[in-house]
Amino acid sequence: MKRQRAGFTLIELLVVVSIIALLLSILLPSLKKARAQARQAVCLSNIKNLAVSTAMYTGSDKHENAMPVHAKTFAVPIDYGAYDWGGKSGTGRLLSANDITSSAWGTQNGRGPASRPLNSIIYKNELTDYNFNPGPDNVNWIEDTKMDLGVFRCPGDIGYTGHHYKEWRDAGSTSYDHYGNSYAANALWCSSHSQSFEVFKSWSPFLRPITRVPNPANTILYQENAVRFGFHINFSGGIPECATASDGIYFSQSPDESFIRGWHGTPFRTTMAFVDAHASVVLMNGHRSPPPSVPGIAPNGGIARCHIIRDKGWQLDVLPSPAIFVDLPDISFSAADGLIE
């Protein structure tokens, strides 16, 4: 008679399970880190492609603008040029109850994917403009919010991670869904109110010919939106000539607002693309504020200390290139509109 083989004992099974659990505890952090690195690599590739596409846009633009500018920029106070240069229709900043089609970043308000200028370079004008064609039950406007325009979506985009607009924080959505874009343009500008008009001053590549950007390899073009305001961290606008939006109700001021996690696991690290079309991962944890003794600094010299925003490896300003001035209709800007002054 054949002898029947005995099965595993309970102790042997427990040993095997323990070994498997040990291996998983060793491997899972490595796998998690590898996935995070892969997401960051895709994000970096996306923003690099956007910078290259922007160089093509600049070459075809009659003004040689260093970055795309939406046709409706400044049409309303909330449009400050940071998001509607490319991407899909956003669902944030609702202008009518809970109706996402009323979004200030949406197709109904003229900021759908077909209207965003960089899209015409990347998608060769293949996107349909549904601004005046909502379709049955606004289906066209709704579908514009569901588009997957991959190059504008960072795979690490998990939404608000600290020190940004309350509106986005309270929405609980990703940047890609809220604004239609995971990336923010370097639209550093301020406005001064006059009796009949707004005087707009750009201290960044925004509305500026690329030939008037003196240091394109160091000047930010785009960055991931999570750490867009990382330069605020050590600079709260306490200087009179530098009142900032973060001093008002527009920014969240909870105790954790001095910390920004970022979308790729490292605090204050952000993917950036520069005016010369290269891209890299850079630390943005505050910025170096120049002393008041620097020649030309306000109030006598006309350049506020908050206009010089830079640190190792990056800068938002384009000084010493002079500001770009534009007279705008009187539309009553305020700190609550999110302007950086």
- Taking only the tens place, the pLDDT of each residue in 143-180 is 999 999 999 999 999 999 888 888 888 899 999 999 99
> Three-state SS for 269?
strand
**Predicted pLDDT at 42:** 94
**Predicted pLDDT at 257:** 59
CA–CA separation, 104 vs 188, rounded Å?
20
The tally of CA atoms less than 13 A away on the side-chain side of residue 28 is: 6
Name which of 64-68, 76-80, 250-254 the model is least confident about.
250-254
Across the chain, how many H-helices and E-strands are there?
Answer: 5, 9
CA–CA separation, 79 vs 93, rounded Å?
11
Q: At which residue do the structure tokens 């306490």 appear?
A: 238
Region 278-294 average pLDDT? 81
pTM of the model as a whole = 0.82
Is pLDDT above 70 for 285?
yes
Which residue stretches of the chain are H helix? 10-60, 117-122, 139-144, 166-171, 175-179
**Predicted pLDDT at 249:** 35
Q: Nearest CA to 66 among 51, 87, 84?
A: 51
CB 335 within 8 A of CB 80: no
Q: Which two tokens stand for residue 222?
A: 């785009």
Using only C-alpha atoms, the chain has a radius of gyration, in whole angstroms, of 24
Q: Nearest CA to 285 among 247, 229, 222, 204?
A: 229
- The model's confidence at residue 302, banded by pLDDT at 50, 70 and 90, is low
Q: What is the dihedral of CA 175, 171, 79, 283, to 10 degrees?
A: -40
Q: Nearest CA to 270 among 166, 167, 183?
A: 183
CA–CA separation, 212 vs 319, rounded Å?
10
Q: Over the chain, what is the mean pLDDT?
A: 81
Q: Nearest CA to 66 among 244, 154, 199, 188?
A: 188
Is pLDDT above 90 for 244?
no
- Taking only the tens place, the pLDDT of each residue in 9-45 is 777 788 888 888 888 777 777 667 778 788 889 999 9
